[in-house]
Amino acid sequence: MTEIPEHLKKRAEEARAKAAAAAAGGDAPVESAAPAADAPAAAAASDSRIPAHLLERSKSAKSRSETSAVEAAAVAPTGGGVATALATAAPAATLTGPAGHTQRLLTVVKAGSIQDIKSVPVDKVHTWPHLLAVEFVASLAMLTFVLIFSIFVNAPLLELANVNQTPNPSKAPWYFLGLQELLTMFHPMVAGVTIPGMGIFLLILSPYIDRNPSNKPEDRKFAISLFTVQMMMWAILVIIGSFFRGPGFNFVAPWTTGLFFEL
């Protein structure tokens, strides 16, 4: 709601007081009415919200209108009738406000009521450059690290493969050992397609099922629980395939028969 200036409140109170006095049944004396008429002008002049140059402009415009009215009344013909004399003596209409003040609207209305100075927070950003620029820099940093690391550290490669001798146990790389461990428990169709496909499909559906926009872990229990269960299950399968599978890919204890694990 727009705040009403104090001089306008005073002017309204004085107008209501005058209307109440007139309704009481008596005309106020001229001496008492004059200060009341000048009170709004004095209050407006004392109000610091109205610039001084606007008050001076208002006074000069009012004096010019009074002067032109007096000159028009002096040169009006005497035989033209009462209507002609009143029409000639009427002051010229000026673009003035209450009590003859000429002031701009912006000096009365506060800026906060006509314009919004507060920025509206936005919770979305564009993919480019906010996301892709960071990912590109991260990929360059990782590529540089791998390149420098490969110069000083040799890859753990084994000897040349011998077609006449198959290593026992024959294990896949560590990141595929979880899948190889599943193949020892289920049919290849179930271990290689059904179980991994269901896990990936649940991860794809998780943001549509848990639609909470919060980033706090306690508010995203479903999505975090689903991801944690899948990660822990895959980590356990990789650990079993790496350290607990011996010759013939049989289950063995590494502290009794040795460690059958190579990168």
Backbone angles phi, psi at 99, to 5 degrees: 60, 25
- Measured distance CA(16)–CA(97) in Å, rounded: 18
For residues 232 and 99, the model is more confident at: 232
What lies within 8 Å, CB to CB, of 249 at 6+ separation is 169, 170, 171, 180, 184
Mean of pLDDT over the chain: 77
pLDDT tens by residue, 107-122: 555 555 556 566 677 7
Provide the residue ranges of all domains of the chain, joining segments of one domain with +: 6-113, 122-155, 161-257
- CATH, domain 161-257, list 1.10.287, 1.10.3470, 1.25.10, 3.40.190: 1.10.287
Mean pLDDT, residues 93-111 taken together: 56
Can you give the pLDDT at residue 85? 47
pLDDT tens by residue, 194-218: 999 999 998 898 888 888 888 888 8
pLDDT tens by residue, 127-171: 888 889 999 999 999 999 999 999 998 887 778 888 888 888 888
Mean pLDDT, residues 226-236 taken together: 93
Can you give the pLDDT at residue 188? 92
